[in-house]
Structure 1
Amino acid sequence: MTQQPPGYGPSGQPPHVRWTPPPPQGYQPPPGYPPPGYPQPVPVAPLAPLAPAKPTFGSALFFVGGLLALMWAVETVDFLMAGALDSYGILPRRIDRLPAVLVAPLLHFGFGHLMANSLPFLALGTLTRMAGRREFWLATLCAVLGSGLGAWLLGPPRSITAGASGVIFGWLVFLLVRGLIARNWKQILLAAVVFGFFGGMLWGVFPTVPGVSWQAHLGGAVGGLLAAWVVGGRPKPRALTR
């Protein structure tokens, strides 16, 4: 029978300490513990932060499709109310209508307006969502605020601005620029494909089409550029290898 050191329990552990390796960070064992002949604690290096999993194509498409369905529902209600919701758009330089910046992307001037925005909204929104949840919300918030403030500050007097095109321009510029800033060749390749399909939309930041808010497009593009700079210049968490 093995003789245990004085004061130790039958398992060889001190009666007042429950030793569970690895020890908590910063834990200092009592003097003389563990005694000679017992396993010594092994320092454990802190784990690198895990990068959050990015949404898959299916989940991103479902999520952005849900936002698009919400816009169609809002437009249906607006149709049944004879366009009454259109008055909640952005009125330039009206302080009391500044909160409309947040709701204007959900409103459209008829189903034709919404149909024109649906495909680029779904495609660019899905690609932006696949870049990461934080990246998506950052790009979307910057695009909403940028496009709304652009229309509020620069829009012509006695006009109403509504529609998701400013958000679409923000997503487009975000996808085009973030790869160049981050120097990621995969993102640059994706940007080239996006530009091939939607690059012609960039002319919308200039006053070329009457009745179209180039101010909202320009503001959304600036917001997307800001989001790309924040995301591309931020160090990414290192993936944990086992």
Structure 2
Amino acid sequence: MSMSPPDVPAPLTRRDRWSIGTTLVLGYLALLYAVELADQWDRHRLDRYGIRPLETDGLWGILFAPLLHAGWQHLNANAGAVLVLGLVGVLAGLGRFLLATAVIWLLGGFGTWLIGDIGSPWHTVHIGASGLIFGWLLFLIVQGFFSRKPGQVLIGAAVFFCYGAVLWGVLPGQPGVSWQGHLCGALAGVFAAFALSGRSRTA
């Protein structure tokens, strides 16, 4: 008795990957606004689920902090960068960008948990998508340096030209702004670019 081979799903086309990636970026953006609406309704009590440095319970904030914002102004300030850098990341390669996002989300969040109280006279709670944004920014800027792919180098140059000035945000300065989260997100983005370009470096 012969058996027919199992059906092998067709590989995703570039259009399919773009469609999936765009949906994920827009879905994340919509989720941010839905969470902020719920937070407003709950009198900002959701914000306590951000990253609380060096507290065991504060580790849960690594998962939740990039979904929380301190009001509409904070969210609106991040929304444009989420949209632009998210779509550029999808254009640069969906699978690699999703892996980079996971690395930045977790590693950047853990770094913020470790150093989040440095330079602050009081105990802080870190919330917002800006750590993820800084991670995306550095990932897109440096990935071409590690992979040696001309297309990624051009994307990195364009991103640096448009957003390079915000990199000053990794330094202490404006009160109430999590430079620690920015710094850790940026370092996680560089690490993700290095780790995910391993095959290209050894080719």
- Same fold by TM-score, threshold 0.5 exceeded? yes
Corresponding position of 2:159: 194
Q: How many residues end up aligned between the 2 structures?
A: 191
Work out the CA distance in 2 between the residues paired with 1:124 and 1:234.
24
Counterpart of 2:36 in structure 1 is 75
Matches of 1:58 and 1:51, distance apart in 2: 14
Task: Indicate the SS of the match to 1:158.
Answer: coil
Counterpart Cα distance in 1 of 2:98 and 2:24: 12
Structure 2 residue identity aligned to 1:219? C
Query: Hey, what does 2:7 align to over in structure 1?
Result: none
CA distance, structure 1, for counterparts of residue 168 and residue 184 of structure 2: 13
Question: What fraction of aligned residue pairs are identical, expressed as a percent?
Answer: 44
* Aligned residue among 84, 106, 110 for 1:145: 106
Q: Distance in 2 between matches of 1:56 and 1:103?
A: 26
- Which one of the candidate residues 111, 119, 122 is aligned to 2:80? 119
Q: CA deviation at 1:208?
A: 2.0
Q: 1:155 aligned to 2:120? A: no
Aligned counterpart for 2:96 among listed residues 116, 128, 135 = 135
**TM-score, normalising length: structure 1:** 0.72
Could you report, residue by residue, the CA deviation over 1:184-227 in whole angstroms, capped at 9, with x for unpaired residues?
11111111111111111111111122211111111111111111
Structure 1 vs Structure 2 CA RMSD: 2.4
Q: Does 1:180 align with 2:154?
A: no
What corresponds to 2:5 in structure 1?
none
SS at match of 1:224: helix
1:166 match: 131
The verdict on how the C-alpha distance between 1:51 and 1:234 changes in structure 2, with shifts beyond 3 A counting, is farther
Aligned residue in 2 for 1:86:
47
5+ residue gaps in structure 1? 1-16, 19-49, 237-242
Q: Which residue, 189, 192, 195 being the options, matches 1:224? A: 189
- CA gap of 1:182–1:52, structure 2 versus 1, over 3 A, is farther
Q: TM-score scaled to structure 2, two decimals?
A: 0.86
**One-letter amino acid matched to 1:123:** V
Query: How far apart are residue 132 of structure 1 and its match?
Result: 2.7
Counterpart of 1:107 (choices 58, 68, 76) is: 68
1:69, CA displacement in angstroms?
Answer: 0.2
- Alpha-carbon separation, structure 2, partners of 1:51 and 1:228: 25
Residue number in structure 2 paired with 1:33: none
Unaligned runs of 5+ in 2: 3-9
Whole-Å Cα distance in 2 between the matches of residues 142 and 57 of structure 1?
21
Other structure's SS at 1:99 match: helix
Provide the secondary structure at the position in 2 that maps to 1:161.
coil
Q: Larger C-alpha radius of gyration, 1 or 2?
A: 1
The 5 A counterparts of 1:31-46 are: none
Judging by fraction of residues, say which structure has more helix.
Answer: 2
Q: Quote how far apart the aligned CAs of 1:61 are.
A: 2.7
Q: Is the 8 A contact 1:139 1:224 kept in 2?
A: yes
